[in-house]
């Protein structure tokens, strides 16, 4: 075998080794992105679950409040309309991949949080309602659900950050671009609307009724 043939074979061997290394690296990077992406999707399902839990509580909460004489109609309408608006926003499993749709979903949920917060503050004016055991039970469930929403959103943001950070690292970003791994949207802290209602239920129950 000639010297030129040996050199050619040597170069071919190097090329094959490099291609193998790059291929193995690509498989590893791809699998990592898949795992992180699935982690975000799984956490998103948890967020959806707690939001659905809240939505399921609202009809019973509104029904209990309607029993109070002269309760502010506008407050109840705001809650009912906000819940309806949430139902109109599509929330597919792929929502984290669509920042614009994600923002609309977050805005609708924030409006509902705000409406519920106002309702619970207005309840302060109604001692009889505050003493209603059915309403108190619903109030407690809502408090727990709002806290769970805050926890699950925080966990979602953490998993989304882990995915987005890895996606931007080199050389992962090359494979992310090639295989169309897009950015995952975050829940963003905006002025008030998207936050869980900050209502101290214990103080509402203990506070004396205002003069009527």
Q: Which two tokens stand for residue 191?
A: 């002025």
Q: What is the pLDDT of residue 72?
A: 81
**DSSP alpha helix (H) spans, the chain:** 3-66, 73-88, 99-122, 127-130, 133-168, 172-178, 201-206
Q: Which helix (H) or strand (E) holds 198?
A: none
Q: What is the pLDDT of residue 71?
A: 75
Reference 119, options 63, 191, 51; nearest CA is 63
pLDDT tens across 109-146, in order?
999 999 999 998 888 888 888 888 889 999 999 999 99
Write down all domains in the chain, each with its CATH number in brackets. 40-206 (1.20.1440.20)
What is the per-residue burial (b if ≥16 Cβ within 10 Å, else e) of 103-139? Answer: ebbbbbbbbbbbbbbbbbebbeebeebbebeebbebb
pLDDT tens across 1-17, in order?
665 565 555 666 666 66
Reference 47, options 158, 138, 200; nearest CA is 158
85 near 45, Cβ under 8 Å? no
pLDDT profile of the chain (212 residues), mean per 10: 59 60 67 94 95 94 81 88 91 89 93 93 86 90 95 96 95 90 87 44 40 38
Write phi, then psi, for 67 (nearest 5 degrees). -75, -15
Q: What is the pLDDT of residue 127?
A: 86
């Amino acid at each position: 075998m000639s010297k030129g043939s040996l050199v050619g074979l040597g170069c071919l061997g190097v090329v094959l080794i490099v291609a193998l290394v790059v291929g193995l690296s690509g498989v590893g990077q791809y699998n990592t992105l898949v795992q992180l992406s699935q982690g975000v999707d799984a956490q998103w399902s948890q967020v959806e679950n707690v939001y659905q839990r809240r939505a399921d509580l609202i009809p019973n909460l509104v029904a209990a409040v309607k029993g109070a004489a002269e309760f502010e109609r506008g407050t109840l309408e705001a809650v009912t309309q906000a819940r309806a608006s949430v139902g109109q926003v599509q929330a597919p499993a792929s929502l984290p991949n669509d920042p614009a749709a994600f923002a609309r979903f977050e805005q609708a949920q924030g409006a509902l949080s705000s409406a519920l917060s106002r309702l619970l503050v207005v309840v302060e004016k109604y001692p009889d309602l505050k003493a209603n055991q059915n309403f108190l039970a619903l109030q407690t469930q809502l408090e727990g659900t709002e806290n769970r929403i805050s926890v699950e959103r925080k966990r979602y943001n953490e998993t989304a950050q882990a995915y987005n950070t890895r996606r931007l690292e080199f050389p992962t970003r090359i494979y992310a671009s090639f295989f169309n791994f897009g950015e995952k949207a975050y829940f963003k802290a905006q002025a008030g609307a998207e936050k869980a209602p900050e209502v101290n239920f214990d103080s509402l129950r203990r506070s004396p009724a205002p003069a009527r």
